């Protein structure tokens, strides 16, 4: 978020006071000496409030992810199926190894679709962006790389016309993409703002319900 360090500290203190149930999770995830990654903790890099909501809604669902990681590992045992798109080969290998180590690799389809995010002019027509077109999805997670802060918006515009009644689009780091609140076809939108794993400050994750 575009805040000064003092503003970030005050926002963090306020979030922990308003949501004391998050304090133990926050301390364990962020202040331990090991500073585990979300993948190591089996956690998405979302707000804790959004993770709780996803835990309630995602079991049995067909999930498509732009971006793989802790969410892929966490929901592999709970979802009907997951397809995750990843541009980073090294990170994809780490996710694949974690899935195999925990015995859930057969429940996930990982696809390596490289894209040069330093030159995003043709992103909308890329194989990475177009990958969701094949398949029937209950949940679409938009949490991939986004250097210009426009690629996730493009993914959202790609996904929304394909959503059916009862489906969900999740957009992480939503404080960057709040313009989507003014232009979407969802029946309702919930923004979950709270602390989250492996990050010092407050973040926000949005769910669009169709």
pLDDT digits (tens, 9 = 90+) for 50-80: 999 999 999 999 999 999 999 999 999 999 9
pLDDT digits (tens, 9 = 90+) for 76-94: 999 999 999 999 999 999 9
Task: Give the pLDDT mean for 8-24.
Answer: 63
Q: Would you say residue 164 has pLDDT above 90? A: yes
Mean pLDDT of the chain: 89
Cβ within 8 Å of residue 76, ≥6 positions away? 82, 99, 102, 104, 107, 108
pLDDT digits (tens, 9 = 90+) for 165-206: 999 999 999 999 999 999 999 999 999 998 878 777 778 999
> What local confidence, expressed as pLDDT, does residue 2 receive?
64
Parallel, antiparallel, or unpaired for β 108-112 and 168-172? unpaired
pTM over the 0.95 mark: no
CA distances from 200 to 13, 148, 157 (A): 11, 23, 30
Calculate Rg over the CA atoms of the chain: 17
Give CA–CA dist 62/105, Å, rounded.
15
CATH number, domain 5-209: 3.40.50.150
Q: How would residue 28 be classed by pLDDT, with cut points 50, 70 and 90?
A: low
Cβ within 8 Å of residue 186, ≥6 positions away? 160, 169, 208, 209, 210
Q: Would you say residue 114 has pLDDT above 90? A: yes
Q: Sketch the domain layout of the chain as residue ranges.
A: 5-209
> What local confidence, expressed as pLDDT, does residue 33 receive?
46
> What local confidence, expressed as pLDDT, does residue 40 receive?
82
Task: Give the pLDDT mean for 8-13.
Answer: 59
> What local confidence, expressed as pLDDT, does residue 203 receive?
85
Q: Would you say residue 38 has pLDDT above 50? A: yes
Burial of 74 (0-12, 13-18, 19+ CB in 10 A): buried
Q: How would residue 3 be classed by pLDDT, with cut points 50, 70 and 90?
A: low
Task: Give the pLDDT mean for 111-138.
Answer: 94
């Amino acid at each position: 978020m575009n805040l000064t360090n003092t503003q970030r500290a005050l926002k963090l203190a306020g979030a922990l006071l308003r949501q004391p149930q998050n304090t133990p999770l926050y301390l364990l995830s962020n202040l331990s000496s090991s500073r585990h990654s979300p993948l190591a903790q089996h956690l998405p890099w979302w707000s804790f409030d959004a993770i709780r909501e996803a835990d309630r809604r995602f079991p049995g669902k067909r999930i498509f992810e732009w971006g793989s990681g802790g969410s892929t590992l966490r929901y592999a045992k709970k979802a009907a199926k997951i397809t995750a798109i990843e541009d980073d080969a090294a990170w994809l290998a780490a996710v694949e190894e974690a899935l195999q180590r925990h015995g859930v690799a057969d429940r996930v389809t990982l696809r390596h679709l490289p894209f040069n995010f330093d030159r995003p002019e043709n992103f909308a027509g890329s194989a990475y962006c177009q990958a969701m077109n094949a398949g029937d999805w209950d949940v679409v997670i938009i949490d991939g790389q986004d250097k210009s802060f426009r690629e996730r918006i493009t993914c959202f515009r790609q996904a929304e016309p394909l959503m059916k009644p009862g489906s969900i689009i999740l957009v992480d780091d939503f404080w960057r993409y709040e313009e989507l609140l003014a232009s979407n076809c969802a029946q309702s939108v919930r923004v979950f703002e709270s602390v989250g794993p492996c990050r010092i400050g407050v973040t926000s994750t949005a769910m669009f319900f169709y």
